[in-house]
Structure 1
Amino acid sequence: MLSKNITQQFWRYSIPSVVAMIVSGIYLIVDGIFIGQVLGAEGLAAINLAWPIIFLVTGLGLMVGVGAGALISIASGEGDKQRVQSLFNHALLLMVLMALIFSAILALLGANPITWQGASGNIQQLAESYLGILGNGALVVLFSCALPILIRNDNSPNFATILMVIGALANIGLDYLFIVKWNWELAGAAYATLGAQAIVMLLALAYFGSRYSNLRFQFSGFRLNTRYLANISNLGLSSFFTTVYTAFITLIHNYLFLRYGSITETGAYAIVLYLSVIYYFIAEGFANGMQPLISYNYGAKRYDNVLKVMALGFSIILGTGVAAVLLMNGFSEFSVGVFNNDDPALLDATVSGIRLHLWAMPLDGLVFTGAVVFQSINRASRATFISLGNMAIQLPFMLVLPFLFRVNGIWLVMPLSTVLLSLLVAWWLVKLVQQFKAELALKQA
């Protein structure tokens, strides 16, 4: 990573990561298209009720993948091969433990996570069927999220991208078979997702057992070090809380839309999330591509390279955010129509949601990427604060705005709170840049 031009390295890591995330976004959107066209607003509302809980196990996978990946890259930059292997072994152990704990907790809770959101009747049954299937496959979900990140940090970003593409194509094909052909409703969508993730997991495990991987399954001399488990969890905690934030916000929005609106508004919210997913995945792709480069160069004390990667990443993420907002507002009726089976009320509610809910998306990308930067340099507390702050800032808005402005107030909760948090994150990033420049000046003196 030090021998090549850092700009070339940025694109080498970012492009595969972005492609992988876009592909993931496309197959999520295709999920929504199948559900919207076959089951309508009711199906869209039901899957949105199940997703907050599924986000949690996804967050555990990201926590282990990002936390271990950053530590592995830092250790590689420092030339400590023994610590690299030990971190990998502990990451695998942590994934198994967390999947078992999640499945056990979900079994104890039963249908409560769905009913807590105010669901009843058919949408509750649809959501429960989806959640039950993916909850039982938590180990597969977690591994399929974490392993591609570790592969990317193992200097194989292209293979990580290929894995995501394979998973996406498998999910689309299984969606068509299970939902359209066999009419399995939301259970079909769950089985399609789980089947695609199982393929990704198995191929990833095969990679780590091959000659192409620098990380190996070497457990003969393995010694449990709880400090490694804690370090991985602590550094990846921001990624987990970012996903918890998404789950929490989705859950509360579902509850508020069902309370102040109807199933139509809840279905509209699902479509808005599907449409925004492409930008968020592009931003996440660039942020994920930045992480190994920042971690490695930070470990090697090449602060000039760290600054270049940050400048490139943030300019692209903010620019694509502005473009996404303009495109979604300019072509809102067309894009909503892809998910809508001739329901004018659903169309009107979704177009309104796009205009009120998504205008601050570029700043959301800034906040997310800021957390990744602090993770990359092993400043876990600041990264975690950003993720938790995202939830804390929104709570007062959630209490006041729906009461004052009903459904329109619900749509405005996220963008207004994002503006406030982005001011703090931007200030922290400016201070970080100043620190790196000061370190460079001392080295050159």
Structure 2
Amino acid sequence: MAKVSSEQLGSEPIGKLLIKQALPASIGILVMSLNVLVDSIFVGNWIGSIAIAAINVVLPVSFFIGALGMSIGIGGSSIISRALGANDKEKALKVFGNQITLSLLVTVAMVFLGLYFIDTLIPAFGGKGDIFGPAKIYYTIVLYGVPFLALCMMGNTVIRAEGKPKFAMIAMIIPSVGNLLMDYIFIYLFDWGMEGAAWATTIGYFLCFSYVFYFFLSKNSELKISWNHFGLDRKILKEIGALGFVTMARQAVVSIIYLIMNNVLFNLGGEAMVAVYAIIGRMLMFALFPVFGVTQGFLPIAGFNYGAEKYDRVRETINTAIKYAAILASIVFVGLMIFPAEIASLFLSDKPGMTPSELAMNAFVLENTPGAMRWVFAATPIIALQLIGAAYFQAVGKAVPALLLTLSRQGFFFIPLVLILPQYLGELGVWISFPIADVLATMVTGFFLRREIRTNLITKISP
């Protein structure tokens, strides 16, 4: 693999550079998303729809702890990108060392808390009735591997900040392939059920950590830290926290949404409705992978050039990223509108020996998922502006607008809508909350991004 220098972020043509950064990110996200998708298909077909619902209950808790690592990674990587752009290598090294120390301290503490409150958290996130037992099995095992996940997420953003997207892509592919292989062995061959699904996921996290650890020890990384870089620095921690809080708050809101959705849908239609949302949730992770890939590719380019005071390149990066992401989002939209029933049918199959109640639940899920999926993705073509706009403010170190815009869709709009509309419209109220929130958040983000470009980018002259 050819050696890539971070300086290329400030010199190569934006279109070519964005593709170079976004393509590996998209492939990595695709493989990770396929992992979640195929994992759900395996679990649904080899264990049952209750198992899919159980994993859906556990995901927000484990993802939140893993997202702590991602938030530390993205917050620190924004600083690292700008430091490298300003040719301040020592600051980049100190930030990276602090990221590692902070990730370990925070995630290990969260694991202990997560295990201590296990019997409270699972029901709170919708793990009720028949879902509780398998959810507790899965939760307990997966939680042991979450610190490795957090370190992977943190390290992956730093690899990308160095301008080495291909290595970041490999880091995302390894755990996905490992997880699916372990799924086949543990669930299909060994018939370990939920324990097998959980151990497959945990082993995948460890494989990812092993590769990230290897990368930073190898000659491929520019960040060669020493012991003195691990000591926590209050000023650096404050800057990491301010920017990383954006990602952490976003994931916290996602976890709250899972909590609300699982409980609202359980009250409307029981375990079967939770399973419908579980399938749609997997598609939310999977279907938009190219858009998320463009967003990930956009971050280091915008951050590096902003740090280098090349504001014309920052503006060009914003426009190009929005254009690419919008095209990709529109393609995804067409596919989801045409094939929702076929997509839903991938997740479930009737097996010999299933009880009448299990067969009835499968039939309900397959009947109700396509219509719900169309509503959830109805505003997909316009989300590019919202994602890139919020990412811009995070990339350039403006924590407050980044936080507010990141939370606008899910926190400020979606949560109130999903709490109010189902009282009048039932299940339809849940599903139409998604596109309404997308439209409102995109309008708000477009306003603030346009003002930022006019005020702070057009008026500044690149050297």
Would you say 1:285 and 2:293 are equivalent positions?
yes
Instruction: Determine the C-alpha separation between the residues in 2 that align with 1:39 and 1:364.
Output: 35
Match of 1:208 in 2: 216
Match of 2:415 in 1: 395
Show structure 1 runs of 5+ residues with no match.
Answer: none
In the TM superposition, residue 370 of structure 1 has moved relative to its aligned partner by 2.0
Contact 1:283 1:369 in 2 (8 A): no
Instruction: Determine the C-alpha separation between the residues in 2 that align with 1:192 and 1:2.
Output: 41
**In the TM superposition, what are the counterparts of 1:319-398 in structure 2 within 5 Å?**
319-342=327-350, 343-389=362-408, 390-398=410-418
In the TM superposition, residue 282 of structure 1 has moved relative to its aligned partner by 2.1
Contact 2:94 2:229 in 1 (8 A): no
* Cα 1:248–1:281 shift into 2, 3 Å: farther
Match of 1:431 in 2: 451
1:216 counterpart SS class? coil
Match of 1:406 in 2: 426
Match of 1:416 in 2: 436
Counterpart of 1:424, as a letter, is V
In the TM superposition, residue 69 of structure 1 has moved relative to its aligned partner by 0.9
**In the TM superposition, what are the counterparts of 1:167-182 in structure 2 within 5 Å?**
167-182=175-190
Would you say 1:51 and 2:59 are equivalent positions?
yes
Would you say 1:34 and 2:53 are equivalent positions?
no
Instruction: Determine the C-alpha separation between the residues in 1 that align with 2:377 and 2:232.
Output: 46
Instruction: Determine the C-alpha separation between the residues in 2 that align with 1:30 and 1:264.
Output: 20
Would you say 1:155 and 2:163 are equivalent positions?
yes
Q: Percent identity?
A: 25
Counterpart of 2:55, as a letter, is I
Counterpart of 1:104, as a letter, is F
**In the TM superposition, what are the counterparts of 1:111-260 in structure 2 within 5 Å?**
111-220=119-228, 223-260=231-268
Counterpart of 1:376, as a letter, is A
1:64-101 CA distance string (max 9 Å, x none):
11111110010011111111111111111111111122
In the TM superposition, residue 392 of structure 1 has moved relative to its aligned partner by 2.7
1:244-276 CA distance string (max 9 Å, x none):
222221221111110011211111111111123
2:407 counterpart SS class? helix
Instruction: Determine the C-alpha separation between the residues in 2 that align with 1:24 and 1:72.
Output: 25
In the TM superposition, residue 222 of structure 1 has moved relative to its aligned partner by 5.4
* Cα 1:261–1:132 shift into 2, 3 Å: same
Would you say 1:66 and 2:48 are equivalent positions?
no
Contact 1:6 1:309 in 2 (8 A): yes
Length, aligned pairs only: 443
* Cα 1:111–1:403 shift into 2, 3 Å: same
1:388-414 CA distance string (max 9 Å, x none):
333132232122211111111111222
* Cα 1:223–1:165 shift into 2, 3 Å: closer
Match of 2:277 among 269, 274, 286: 269
Instruction: Determine the C-alpha separation between the residues in 2 that align with 1:69 and 1:433.
Output: 23
Instruction: Determine the C-alpha separation between the residues in 2 that align with 1:366 and 1:122.
Output: 41
* Cα 1:412–1:334 shift into 2, 3 Å: same
| Mean CA deviation greater in 285-294 or 270-279 | 270-279
TM-score, normalised on structure 2?
A: 0.92
Contact 2:288 2:332 in 1 (8 A): no
In the TM superposition, residue 423 of structure 1 has moved relative to its aligned partner by 0.9
| Mean CA deviation greater in 357-366 or 369-378 | 357-366
Instruction: Determine the C-alpha separation between the residues in 1 that align with 2:447 and 2:229.
Output: 46
In the TM superposition, residue 238 of structure 1 has moved relative to its aligned partner by 1.4
1:123-148 CA distance string (max 9 Å, x none):
11111111111222221121121111
1:318-364 CA distance string (max 9 Å, x none):
22222212211201111111112143321111112112222123344
Instruction: Determine the C-alpha separation between the residues in 2 that align with 1:369 and 1:217.
Output: 32
Show structure 2 runs of 5+ residues with no match.
Answer: 1-8, 351-361
Match of 1:310 in 2: 318
In the TM superposition, residue 47 of structure 1 has moved relative to its aligned partner by 0.9
Counterpart of 1:79, as a letter, is N
Instruction: Determine the C-alpha separation between the residues in 2 that align with 1:281 and 1:274.
Output: 11
| Mean CA deviation greater in 348-357 or 180-189 | 180-189
Instruction: Determine the C-alpha separation between the residues in 2 that align with 1:90 and 1:143.
Output: 12
In the TM superposition, residue 380 of structure 1 has moved relative to its aligned partner by 0.6
TM-score, normalised on structure 1?
A: 0.95
Would you say 1:102 and 2:122 are equivalent positions?
no
Contact 1:245 1:387 in 2 (8 A): no
* Cα 1:107–1:221 shift into 2, 3 Å: closer
1:369 counterpart SS class? helix
Counterpart of 1:417, as a letter, is A
Counterpart of 1:413, as a letter, is S
Contact 1:118 1:258 in 2 (8 A): yes
In the TM superposition, residue 194 of structure 1 has moved relative to its aligned partner by 1.2
* Cα 1:369–1:430 shift into 2, 3 Å: same
| Mean CA deviation greater in 291-300 or 119-128 | 119-128
Match of 1:84 in 2: 92
Instruction: Determine the C-alpha separation between the residues in 1 that align with 2:225 and 2:196.
Output: 34
Contact 2:48 2:348 in 1 (8 A): yes
Counterpart of 1:261, as a letter, is G
Match of 2:4 in 1: none
